[in-house]
Amino acid sequence: MSESEESTDQPPDADGPADKTVVAEVAAYDEELAEDVGALLERVTELQADVEAVESELETAEERLERTRADFKNYKERAKRQQEEIKERATEDLVERLLEVRDNVGRALNEEADNVDSLRDGIELTRKQFDRVLAEEDVERIEPEPGNEVDATKHEVMMRVGSEEPEDAIASVYRPGYKMADKILRPAQVTVSDGPEETESTSESLSSEEAAK
């Protein structure tokens, strides 16, 4: 293969001898066309430079993305450890306060008292202390009044009973519930009224009226 043939197989270099040779060859036949070819070759050179710049920016962006991913992963791990530590400290604090309540219950049970009322008073004080601990943890009792409407999110209906309360209203609370902030820990168990029960005197009165008719 001749040297001239080898040169034609090489890719043109931007603003290199090959580009000038092409323009010169075209100019030998058509100078206007040569100008257009020259402008196109310059545009190709510009586009090649733009591509290289974009590739460099893309490589930089990928490196930043990898660093950001690594930083975010480290952040998640730190946040998880911090949450676990906060939870552990909160649990320890709660247990410490509950231990005080337990100690008071033990003292009340071990106290020698002939007076049942005195023992009851001691247990009542302990219960109040326990309620204070719950209040400090933002725990509230769910204990609706008879006659209130049933709330399916807070109440669990155990049975329907005859009651002086309006039909479908709460008749009584079987077991109170508890909530912590906006979360229901345990719904209150309630009975629901079937409506006032008909008394015997009312039934006799109605029978007498029907007989009179």
Task: Please give the domain boundaries of the chain with CATH numbers for all domains.
Answer: 1-137 (3.90.20), 140-213 (2.30.22.10)
* Residue with tokens 């009044």, as numbered in its chain: 145
Average pLDDT, integer, range 138-163: 93
Model confidence at 149: pLDDT above 90:
yes
* Burial degree of 155 (CB within 10 A; 0-12, 13-18, 19+): buried
**Distance separating the N- and C-terminal Cα atoms of the chain:** 132
State residue 198's pLDDT score.
Answer: 56
Q: Which residue did the predictor score with more confidence, 150 or 9? A: 150
Q: Where do the DSSP E strands lie in the chain?
A: 139-142, 155-161, 170-175, 177-180, 183-186, 188-193
Amino acid at site 125: L
* Residue with tokens 């791990």, as numbered in its chain: 77
Coil, strand or helix at 119: helix
pLDDT in tens, 51-62: 888 988 898 888
CA distance 144 to 188: 8
Q: Identify the band that residue 113 occupies on the pLDDT scale cut at 50, 70 and 90.
A: low
CA 129 from centre of chain: 33
Nearest Cα residue to 173 out of 190, 152, 192, 156: 190
Model confidence at 126: pLDDT above 60:
yes
Up-side HSE of residue 41: CA atoms within 13 Å toward CB? Answer: 21
pLDDT in tens, 3-42: 444 444 444 444 555 666 666 666 666 666 667 767 777 8
